[in-house]
Each structure stands twice: as C-alpha cells, then as structure tokens.
A and B are shown apart, each in its own frame.
Chain A
C-alpha cells in the first residue's frame, strides 16, 4: 500500500531583475570591477534583496579541481559551524579535499546576515555504487544530496576553475563584499541584481544558479514552472530553491550537459518557434522543430524571461519566444556584452562595434576562440 503523497506547499518566488554578462572572446582574463559598475548602473531594477556574480577562469592554480562554494547559514556562529562540521564529515567520505579556505570577504562592506562562505577544491572519490556514475553525475548527485539533506549547508557553486558569488544585497554590495574587483580575474563574468516581490530573501536564493560549471542568471517569471519542475523531477532533479531560475539551470544541465544538444536546438526547446512558423519551414527544418516541440514540450519556458547561460568558453543570451523581457547584445573588439539595458554597456565601453536587440527566442552565442 503506497502512502498518500502530500501536496507540496512551497512558495514560488516571483522576481524581476537586471542581468549583465561580459566575455573576452580571445580568452583574456579581466577583473570584476567593470561588471560591478555595469550592474550597479541598473540599481533601480533590483531592490536590494539579491545580487550575484559568476566568473570563469578565476582559479587557474586549481583548474583541475572542482571548486565547491559553500554557504553555511544559521542564526548563530555555532549553528553555522556545526553544519560546516556535518558537511566536512560528508565531504571527506566521497572526495579528496586538496585545499579549503574561507572565501575572502571585505567585512567593511555591510551586508545583511552574511553566512559563513567557504570554498573547497576537491577531487571526487566515489565508492561502491557511486563508482558507476560518470564523474559529473556523481558531483550533481552529491550537490543535490547536500542541498536537500544537510540543514543550513548549501553548495552554490560546483564547477572547475569558476565560481559563483552571491548574497542578499544590491549586486554592487555583494561584489565589493567578495572583493571581486580586486581578488579575481576571469574571461567570462555574469551578474544579477534582483527584485523579488516577497521579502524572505536568503543568500542561497540569489542568482546566479550554478551546477558544475553551468550558471544561469535570469530575469523573469516562468509561468510553466509547475510543468517544467515536474518534468525535471523525472530526471532526478530536485527543485529545492523555490525559484524558477532553478528549473532553467536544471533544464540547461539536462539538455546541454547530459544530452549534449547544441545551443541552437536548446534555444528551440526553451523558446520554440510558434507552430505557424514551424508549419511554414522547409521539410528538414520543420521535422526537427516539430520533433523538438513534441518531445521537449514540457521544457518550454513559458512566460517572460531573459537568461544568460554560461559555462567555460561560452556565454549565451536568450529571451522567451515573444520577448517579454529585455536583452541587448553588443560587441567591441574581443569583448562581448549582454545586458538588460544598453546604458550599462555604454558606461563601461562607450565605443561599440555593434549593438543589437535579438529577436524573441533567438540565442546570442559568444564563444572564446580556442
């Protein structure tokens, strides 16, 4: 006899936001100062309840190790330390920890209730049944386990040679708190300023969302959240963060990492063309577009959104298919920018080679030349 399944009573968070991304297409690394300046220019698109950054290529000395960024939350130092102790015990069972330290922060910058933020550089050391998993699936599995099972411990960054930094506050405050302008140089930076409509902000709920080296920053509300979430749950994802950005992150992980679909197809899954347009396509293209919608209909992200997806070597901007949220793309020399607004791009790069507004559902892809 199966027991009755209790209905879920989590609140879905609703938020509006600013997003920004910058990359150097020749792979040169640059500091986070410009990105902080740019996202700060969109201050009024956020309300101080969340800000964050993702940066790639920032840990060249540890580039072969997974960099876990942990936050330990709690009302007192002892609660944070005890969840850290619990996490450490778990980590040493399945990983070799090469180095770990507190993530440096500037205590002179005031932020609300900062958690204990710690980073670990690790190698997976799977045992027993776990050894059958691919390395990446193993990492994902353990990240999901920690985030759902260990109270007050939360892995918010789990890729190699990259890191997510986020928290409650305006993004410029979070950027200065983690000293992104002084401590790190990366070849891709994405940033997010948040305007949630409910006030229960917590550090883990800020953007970017990351899994392995994939990160997503998102502006919008996904009306198809329930459909997307329930589809992803069938593939073992556990949506714990009460936010629709999480489902985009997992959808990207499922489609791009696990299924290795190219971004052009992924864009057609997340923001597919309308049937009228598909019906008018040439036969080959129509058959592909139709099959993608048929099979991946539950991953259509319906409702207003703009997202910037990043992983090593690539940054992708995408809007919903009817473009209900803004996205501006620009390029100057090797630099490529994606932003909610044009002004912040002009602020840090007054001269641009080109600036354009992508069509709804049309991905803008920037790649680092190898």
Chain B
C-alpha cells in the first residue's frame, strides 16, 4: 500500500563538502543514505529518517543537516500534522501505534514554573567551594523514635533500623532493562553507578550473571509482572529490590520487548526462549489487591533475609497518594513514583500521551499524604519521570522527594537524541538495540565516564544552589517548600504543590 505520510525530516547534504566517504550510509541503521553508483552520488530516502542526528555528528566533512521537513499540510489547530500522520499510519496498518521515550506533549512542566530561594543579608549563603556541602542520602525506613541506653561514653542506640542504602547524590539511574537497552548501555549505567556511589536499576530484564559480582552492590533489581530473570542470587546480589507495579510512560500496562530484541543473551538473562516477544502482563497476576502486594513484599524480604530495602514503583495516577499510603502500610521501604513524562523503550503512544499525572504534583501530594498519616518516616520517596537538570532535582527534593531516578537524562548523556524509535531496536546510538554492530558503538568505559561526569556536574550545581539558600546538607531542603515559589500558576496548582506564589 502506498504510504501517504510525508517524510518528517529533510536531509540536506552540502555537495561541496561531501567527499562521498559513505560514512553516513554505514552510520544509519534505518537505511536513509545510500550510494547510487549510476549517478555517483549519495542519495537519501527521507521517509526513513528518524531525525536522530547520528549521521550529522559523525560526518567527517560536516556536510549533513537534518531538519524538520518544511513541507506541511494546511495548518490546522485541531488536525495537527502529528494527528493526521498517526491516523494515516493506522489506516495503512490497522495497528496500535508504538513509540519510545517519554511523552513529548505540552503538558505544563511545573519545574519551569517554580523558582528557588537564596540568602540575602539575614543569613549567610555558603560557598560550596570552600565549605562542606553534603548530599549524602539514606533510602529506606527510619524509625519515629530511637531508644537509647546507657549514658555518657556508654550511650548506645537500642533501636534496630530497617535496611537503608546510601546514595552520594540523591540521583539514581532509573529502571532500564537489559533487552530494552543494549548490554553496553546497561553495563555503562552499572559502571557509572558504582563509580559514583549511586545505584542503577536493572529494570525487569534481569541482571546478566557475569555482572553480578562487580555491579550487584550498586543495583536495584526489579521484580515485575513478567518475573523475568529472577532467582535467589539475582535478589541477593543487589543493594535493593524493587517491585514494579507501574511505569509513568504506560500506567496500567506491562513491559513490551519485541521479539527482534530478544537475542540469545537477552533470552538467557530473562529466562525466556530466544526470539519471542517478552510482553509482561499488565498486572502482577499474584497482586490483585494491596494485601497481595504486602505478601510479595514480605516474600522478597524473606528471600533477602530482611537485609535489603524493598521498593515499590508505581505510576502517578489519579488516586496514587492513597495507594502510596497503602503501599507503605503494606511494608514497602521505598516508594518510587513515576510521572506522566517518564520514558519507555516501547509503549502504545495513546497511553504514553494520555495517562498519568505530572510528577511535580505527585511528589507534593504523596509527601503531604504520608505526613498527614504520620508514616512519612517509614519509607523513602523516589521521584521519576521528567527530571532534566539539577534544578529539577533540587525542586523535587524541596517538594518532598528523598531522591530522584533519572532515565532519559542518562540516555541523553550516552548519546540518545530522543528520536523515539527505541521500539524498533535499531538505535543508531547503540543504546536501545540488540544489534551487535550498533550496540558496539557504545564503549562502556567512555559512556560510563559521560554518566559520572553528568552526576558530578549536577551534584556541583546542586551544591551551588543549596549553598545559595544557606543550607549545607540536603536533608535540610527535603520537603522544605518554603524555598520554592510558583510563577504563572493557578491557585489550585499552588495549593497542590503546597508552595506560595512568587512575591507572596
């Protein structure tokens, strides 16, 4: 069937610069560029272009420019080009439209409507280059009271504290499974997490056996509805275990790993047949209620000898605050909440763009809810989905999160350009692919350095902002909404965020 969809991108080649090295042809896994012998020139099939910019960056002559196609339908506010093209795609295929990455729709980004405080006169700002500035964070349950015995030098703490993990920057790598991302990308995240003193999350695809001894200590291992790759060693080699109930990009449905990406090693790690679709069930079929979740939490605690915090990850949906409270009461040590803009390797586009609520509002509501019920100390709160910079991190913490998960930001650090073709398995940047030729484009030593550089840079920026507020330890900003003000928000939004308007 002839496709009626016009190309999204235009490939412009400066013929004066191009020396026909055919590098672009080798770089592009989508087959945009090819050499035409008859015409002795490189030609481009724009309809295949994802706009990932791989060829542009790697063209030795800087001869290429990829830009959104200037050709356009008659402008229409209701029938946008995206709506029309999606509709045509479905008319041509009869299928659900898949996509990758977080939602690109213009939902209000509350981070950009909140501003931070700084010290002037009445309390001194603190210079992080000259004075200590502390970001160390403990994730896990804290008791409401400590019982002490003895006095003076013999004083001892009697209360036993539940398992906590220590993070040096309040920033963890979000769940990205081996299978969705390449072995090299997965290993890069693991190496960076261990180097920096934080954690990576294995996602639901298991942890390859040979990585367990070196990187297990920095891993949060996931138990999701597909139960891929779970054995006792997997649970026990990790720092923490996370039950994945939901994901911000696709609340209400399970993971999607198309058969094309299930290579032999992925199959072995996931304990599934090679080349089969790995579609996780939408719910956990042993969790149909909160009491079922509690049983799974305690089963995992038993399996790990009560030595590891158990996290539960849910997508931010309408009554998630009440659900989160139930999850804490069910025994979770950490709650991870993934917002509307959270990323994915593959999700139905309609779900990604229409389901869930923004993470900023979610952090605020859940923090308030847990405090109102007096159970905020019983768990730590991780926020995920749409954290783009250190400013977002510090605002998330001021709203009440203990730490954040970053997924998309980490991928961008490794080269991702958000072309949203993750589900095709043909990622030119070697991230979201199992093609050995493409995956080999990531050198874990270099990619992990890009990741640790990112964490270092964000930490330095967070320290600068903290110091500016006259605060020298991150715990003094946690839930400290006095340091935030809203700009350009409606009254109800300020109420939900629990912050004053600027100037108030």
Contact = CB atoms under 8 A, between A and B. Distances in A.
B122 A230 contact: no
A243 B297 CA distance: 42
Interface stretch (A92-100, A122-130, A221-229): A221-229
26 contacts: A4-B492, A4-B495, A7-B495, A9-B500, A223-B469, A223-B471, A225-B482, A226-B482, A230-B480, A234-B144, A234-B371, A261-B146, A262-B148, A264-B152, A275-B132, A275-B134, A292-B157, A295-B142, A297-B473, A297-B475, A297-B478, A298-B478, A302-B471, A303-B470, A303-B476, A322-B132
Contacts of B138: 294, 297
A169 to B, nearest CB: 22
Given A234-B376, A264-B155, A5 B469 contact: no
A226 B151 contact: no
Nearest to B402: A297
Interface string B139-168: 000111110100110011100010010000
A261 B500 contact: no
B78 interface: no
A230 B499 CA distance: 13
B480 A227 contact: yes
Contacts of A260: 148
A262 B495 CA distance: 39
A15 B124 CA distance: 13
B459 to A, nearest CB: 14
Contacts of B144: 234-235
Interface in A250-265: 259-262, 264-265
The number of chain B residues touching the other chain, given as a range, is 35 or more
A294 B356 CA distance: 33
A233 B376 CA distance: 11
B305 interface: no
Contact of B477 (A227, A287, A322): A227
Interface of A: 4-9, 12, 14-16, 197, 220-221, 223-227, 230-231, 233-235, 259-262, 264-265, 274-276, 284, 287-288, 291-298, 300, 302-304, 321-322, 324
A324 B126 CA distance: 10
A7 B498 contact: yes
Interface of B: 119, 122-124, 126, 131-132, 134, 136, 138, 142-146, 148, 151-152, 155-157, 161, 164, 368, 371, 374, 376-377, 469-473, 475-483, 492, 494-500, 504
B160 to A, nearest CB: 10
A300 B475 contact: yes
Contacts of A303: 123, 470-471, 476
Given A5-B495, A12-B482, A221-B123, A300 B155 contact: no
A304 B123 contact: yes
A148 to B, nearest CB: 17
Question: Top 7 nearest A-B pairs by Cβ distance?
Answer: A224-B476, A297-B475, A302-B476, A226-B480, A226-B482, A221-B123, A223-B470
Contact of B161 (A15, A291, A297): A291
Given A9-B500, A291-B157, A261 B476 contact: no
B148 A265 contact: yes
A194 to B, nearest CB: 13
Contacts of A296: 146
A241 B161 CA distance: 34
A288 B134 contact: no
Given A7-B497, A234-B374, 7 more contacts: A4-B496, A9-B504, A224-B471, A225-B480, A235-B144, A284-B156, A302-B471
B475 A14 contact: no
Contacts of B145: 259
A211 B143 CA distance: 25
A300 B480 CA distance: 12
A288 B495 contact: no
Contacts of B476: 223-224, 227, 297, 300, 302-303
Contact of A223 (B119, B151, B157, B500): B119
A274 B132 contact: yes
A11 B45 CA distance: 62
B155 A302 contact: no
Given A262-B151, A298-B475, A230 B371 contact: yes
Contact of A322 (B131, B151, B161, B479): B131
Question: Which of A15, A224, A292 gathers most chain B CB within 10 Å?
Answer: A224
Question: Which of B476, B481, B504 gathers most chain A CB within 10 Å?
Answer: B476
